[in-house]
Structure 1
Amino acid sequence: MSLRDFGLLVMVCLIWAINNVLSKYVVSVMDVPPLFYAALRFALVLVCVLPWLFPAPRPLWRLVVVALLMGAVNFALLFVGLTLATPSSAAVVLQLGVPMTILLSMLMLGERVRWRRGIGIALTFLGAVTVMWDPHGFAISAGLLLVAAAAFAGSVGAVLMKQLEGVKPLQYQAWVGFTSVWPLAALSAVLEPGQVDKALHAGWPFLAALVFSALVVSLLAHSLYYVLVQRYEANLISALTLMTPLATIALGVAVMKDPFGLRMAIGSAIALTGVLIIAIRGNQVWPMLLAIRNRAQ
């Protein structure tokens, strides 16, 4: 990999990490309702990529299901989860999407997993459970359970996406935006009274965060990522994107004052080691895993 392309990948990972922390700031500190925030993000993305909405790929029903799972369902669970969890721990738990996709590919597509990748899967789950566990209350964190559910929704969508052919990146983003904005807006209208006033009260900082998440993250960073995936081996790119949870942890501790004790350090190390093993050994399922990376940030 050239130094320039490595620098671009580092920039992409930093953008994703910043967005993880920024999303937590929006829904917790700014007090913008999470479903409303997600709806506005998808609306802005849709406006920017509307020309790519048609002609619609076939079968349309499968694309709609994939777009809902990786858009509305995923982001609703993730943003609500972030109101209750730290961005550092959420970044680690989101890595469950990688082994979940592999396991679902075994069940739904009949793919096989060798023992080394099986070790990676086990380590990822063990590390995530270590991060999620609350030793004081002997209970799993509710916020991180929602984040794990978000990862699962994205994994199901990724497996179904493998059966779609000929869908271009901007076309896919257009359909994610189109299918996601309506249910999120409806749910926000029912469950989040006063959401417009809260967003207006947050003022221009919220507007800046919204523009960053929609334009810089969804369009710029993801587009650069697609270019790098086409230029280099997927295993190399996917392994290097582990910089994202590491940077999220660092930013979460520095900016949001996330607690980072021994349990968090051990759990993060175990989970990320498991993902790295999967990345090094992965071959057949990486087209799906790349889709997870592109939906999750």
Structure 2
Amino acid sequence: MALRDFALLVLVCMLWAGNNIVSKYVVAYLHAPPLFYAAVRFGIVALAVFPWLRSPPRPLWRLLVVSVCMGAGSFAFMFIALKTASPSSAAIVSQLMVPTTTLLSFLLLGERLSARRLFGICLTLVGALAVMWDPAGFDFSGGLAFVLVSVVMGSLGAVLMKQMEGVQPLQFQAWVGWASAAVLIPASLVLEPGGFETVFSIGWRFWAAVTFSAVVVSVFGHTAYYFLIQRYEANLISPLTLMTPLATIGLGVAITNDPFDARMAFGAAVALVGVLIIAMRPNQAMLFLFNLRNRAR
């Protein structure tokens, strides 16, 4: 990979990690309604890429379902989760999206599920469970249950997306924006009464955060990521995006004072190794495991 492109990928991962911290700040510290925050975010995205809304690929119903799953479903539940969950724990548990997508691809699309990927799925699950576990049992009070819902919604959208052809990145973002805003605006009005008053009382900090999230993170960040995916193999790009949860953990500890003990460290390490094994090619995964074994000696 060219140094310029690697630097671009690092920037994208840092933007995604920073967005997790910004979102936590908005919904947990500024007390912005999470559904309203998500609705405004997608509304801005939709307006920014409005020209690409034309000539949607068929079937339209599948495009709308994918858009709602990967947009409103995935992001809204994540914002709800961040009201109580730390960005670090949410970033680790959200790594379950990779094995969940793999399993759904096997169940819904009939894709091959190798022993290597099953092993990676088990490792990622163990890591996520370690993060959710405490001496009293599983910790769903911290919003991590909503992270799991977000993971399932995003994974389902990704699997359905595999059955669509001819969707351009900005065109897809336009439909995600409009479809998600159309779902989230009425949901916020019903479930979050007084949302407008709350947001306007917060003032410029809300609008600065949501503009950063929509324009810089979504429009620029995701477009740059799609550019890299088209230029390089996914098996190269996907493992490198693990910089995002690592950066989120670091920023969470430094900025939002996330707790990070030995249990969290173990869970993060095991989950990320599992994701790497799933994402890598078979020969890369074998070499990775061989190196791990030799280092353990």
Tell me the TM-score range normalised by the shorter chain: over 0.9
Give distance in 2, aligned partners of 1:65 and 1:134: 36
Shift of the 149–39 alpha-carbon distance from structure 1 to 2, 3 Å rule, reads: same
Structure 2 residues without counterparts, runs of 5 or longer: 284-297
Alpha-carbon distance, 1:203 to partner? 1.4
Quick check: 1:53 aligned with 2:57? no
**Distance across 2 between alignment mates of 1:105 and 1:188:** 32
- Number of the residue aligned with 2:174: 174
1-structure distance, mates of 2:47, 2:71: 16
Q: Is the 8 A contact 1:116 1:281 kept in 2?
A: no
Seq. identity, %: 60
Name the residue aligned to 1:21.
21
Map 1:143-222 → 2, pairs under 5 A: 143-222=143-222
The secondary structure found in structure 2 opposite 1:180 is: helix
- Listed one character per residue, the Cα deviations across residues 114-155 of structure 1 (whole Å, up to 9, x for unaligned) are 1112111100011011111232x3133241111011011111
1:8 matches 2:19: no
Aligned structure 1 segments of 4 or more residues deviating by more than 4 angstroms: none
* 2:138 equivalent to 1:139: yes
Aligned mates of 2:259, 2:203 — CA distance in 1: 29
CA-to-aligned-CA distance 1:36-93 (integer Å, 9 cap, x gap): 0000000000111111111121100000111111111112211111112000010111
The AA in structure 1 aligned to 2:42 is F
Matched residue type, 2:217:
V
Matched letter for residue 17 of structure 1: A
Contact 1:42 1:214 in 2 (8 A): yes
Letter in 1 for 2:78: L
Q: Normalized against structure 1, the TM-score is what?
A: 0.93
Write the distance in 1 (CA, Å) between the matches of 2:194 and 2:281: 49
In the other structure, the counterpart of 2:82 is: 82
Letter of the 2:50 counterpart = L
Q: Which moved more, 1:257-266 or 1:67-76?
A: 67-76
Question: Rg: which structure is higher?
Answer: 2
Contact 2:13–2:241, Cα closer than 8 Å, also in 1: yes
Give the whole-Å Cα distance in 1 for the aligned partners of 2:185 and 2:162.
28
Does residue 126 in structure 1 map to residue 160 in structure 2? no
**Is structure 2 residue 112 aligned with structure 1 residue 112?**
yes
Cα displacement (A) at 1:282: 7.2
Unaligned runs of 5+ residues in structure 1 are 284-297
For the Cα contact (< 8 Å) 1:235–1:282, is it kept in 2? no
Report the Cα distance in structure 1 between the residues aligned to 2:229 and 2:73, rounded to whole angstroms. 26
Question: How far apart are the structure 2 equivalents of 1:234 and 1:35?
Answer: 32
Q: In 2, Cα distance between the equivalents of 1:220 and 1:267?
A: 31
CA distance in 1, matches of 2:278, 2:138: 28
Q: Which residue of 1 aligns with 2:233?
A: 233
RMSD value, Cα: 1.2
Looking at structure 2, the residues matched to 151 and 18 of structure 1 have their Cα atoms a distance apart, in angstroms, of: 19
TM-score (norm 2): 0.93
